[in-house]
Amino acid sequence: MQLGSTVTLTYTGKLEDGTVFGYATENEPMKFQTGMDMTIDGFEKAVLEMNEAGEKKTFVVDEYDAYGEYLEGHVAKIPLEQIPVTDVKVGKRIMLASGEDGSPMPATVLGIEEGVVTFDLNHPLAGKSLTFEVELLEIEEAPEDFVSAAEKAQHLKEQSKLLGGDQGEDFR
């Protein structure tokens, strides 16, 4: 298998205590093109080491190749009246608008005290090692002209510099 191959697979994802956090079955398999940033890095890296349909593999992805470390201070406190959802309760996941660009960002309610809601902004799987049991069902070879997401991003960055963008403090 090579970068750019499209794979169809089944998987079961488990936490260290055996709790299942995700899965794909033969009836509803997972299908993605490698090299397009469609999965967590550690998952894609392990799948790329597999070679043929029918192959099975169990592997562990550490927190740094999954959803990153859990950041204790990655919380937000927002007055209850500013929350666009009426059914706010501890443990519930709510989509918030990020302050930077307004795009939706999931957050988990940690607590509600004196009209202020405390949200955990970490991914629910942050700080966790993840175990995957994977079976490859199908591999489609990469197109001859395949360009990975990383290569596209690098190309766009270089083009931006050539066209006068991304000059920061050097531009006057």
Q: What is the pLDDT of residues 98-134, one digit of tens each?
A: 766 777 888 899 999 998 999 999 999 999 999 999 9
Kindly report the number of other CB atoms within 10 A of residue 4's CB atom.
18
Q: What is d(CA 19, CA 5) in angstroms, rounded to the nearest whole number?
A: 30
Does residue 170 have a pLDDT over 50?
A: no
Question: Rounded to whole angstroms, how far apart are CA atoms 15 and 20?
Answer: 7
User: What's the mean per-residue pLDDT of the chain?
Assistant: 87
| Range name among 39-43, 111-115, 117-121, 156-160 with the lowest pLDDT average | 156-160
More confident residue, 12 or 146: 12
pLDDT at 169 over 70: no
Give the tokens for residue 92: 């519930």
pLDDT (0 to 100) of residue 163: 65
Which pLDDT value is given to residue 171?
42
Can you list the pairs that 82-91 forms with residues at least 24 positions away whose Cβ atoms lie under 8 Å? 83/117, 88/112, 88/117
Return the structure tokens found at 63: 């927190």
